[in-house]
Chain A
């Protein structure tokens, strides 16, 4: 199942990211949950965090970021998906294959979301206050 493959892809991506920032000591950052170190890297790289959608699943299913980070969902699946959170804070259009959607999380908190087309697909963004880790 791709849910097994995905963490590997994610690990590779984050490893590259870490290399780019030159924080080689952090190469062993624990996954699948992003550690505090992982959060710091996302911030330091000033690069938007990415959630990949494939095989009717979000990867990573839980993403931890700092406030002000932009998250981009990229639909790499053969089926359309649509991001929506419980309270309507963020909602994408229906994303066809290769479409993406971005949202900047300004306020710390936990943001569970689903694919509103396939409500059994769930994910969560955890937003930590900026400047803390």
Chain B
């Protein structure tokens, strides 16, 4: 695999999170990314001229992730409040998104009251929402039955789905039910045969010029094996998408933005709306960065806007933090 090279490309794996943020001058703002020829390029900071000229007439949607409602420890004793701030940020957007996607860990512990709280907050955006479960959403006694009963209507198998919007084909994959236990090899997520067979059929016969957005909770590339940050059989899924000219992969789970380009495929993990996690290998464990001070927390939380302009196959991604 080319993972080692890719980490070098991003530089993110070798730097602690704070250093990375400083280095990229993200403090207090967001960065506008545009994908030109498949290579992400920074256009400017949110609020700058580039962002103000957000292209009109295309398809815009917003990704939120890892809201962890029910978490109650440092650095964020109140993730409901920060989710509310994220939703308020969406409501204030000049170009309103067509819909929202939530890439998992809606709740902290798969409890109905946690989902109730999350739904109540998210509902105020008045948008259609496409949900995916995180591993924290399938931690009920019946291994995900509660999530599927609540969010799994109109989905296939164990919650996966696809839909089309504005000429873009969206695929929501589930990688929190199967896994490879870490006894002899890395403990990674799995998509599983049934879902992969469905995916192969789902994309068969579609025009290669159709832009694809592939979403899942855990990263669909191996970011850091030692922390289980990867999906063992993701390569097979990406193989089915090789012929497509533009594939954008959106993941959550690691509570920080890491991006990678591989041919026509761009990979992006997202910030959490609840708490940050350390950059790969910079801490003994991937738990919450509890040392983040209350007045610094918002710099580590954020939402992502994705904009497709008609006539261009690759989208522009805008990551913005929750700093007011």
Contact = CB atoms under 8 A, between A and B. Distances in A.
Contacts of B287: 55-56, 77-79
Contacts of A114: 181-183, 187
Nearest to A99: B109
B226 A120 contact: yes
Interface in B133-188: 135-136, 139-141, 179-183, 186-188
Categorize the interface residue count of chain B. Answer: 20 to 34
A82 B139 contact: yes
B187 A117 contact: no
Interface in A114-133: 114, 116-122
A57 interface: yes
B239 interface: no
Contact of B187 (A77, A82, A112, A122): A122
Given A112-B183, A120-B228, A122-B181, A80 B136 contact: yes
Contacts of B108: 80, 96
Main SS of chain B's interface residues? loop
A3 B139 contact: no
A119 B284 contact: no
B110 interface: yes
A55 B285 CA distance: 5
A97 B186 CA distance: 25
Interface string B193-209: 00000000000000000
B73 interface: yes
B275 to A, nearest CB: 9
B277 to A, nearest CB: 10
Contact of B182 (A1, A3, A117, A119): A119
Given A56-B285, A78-B287, A120 B73 contact: no
Contacts of B245: none
Contact of B285 (A2, A86, A116, A119): A2
A46 interface: no
B171 to A, nearest CB: 24
A119 B73 contact: no
Nearest to A120: B187
Interface of A: 1-3, 55-57, 77-80, 82, 86, 93-94, 96-97, 112, 114, 116-122
14 contacts: A2-B285, A55-B285, A55-B287, A56-B284, A56-B285, A57-B285, A77-B287, A78-B290, A80-B136, A94-B109, A97-B73, A118-B135, A120-B228, A121-B187
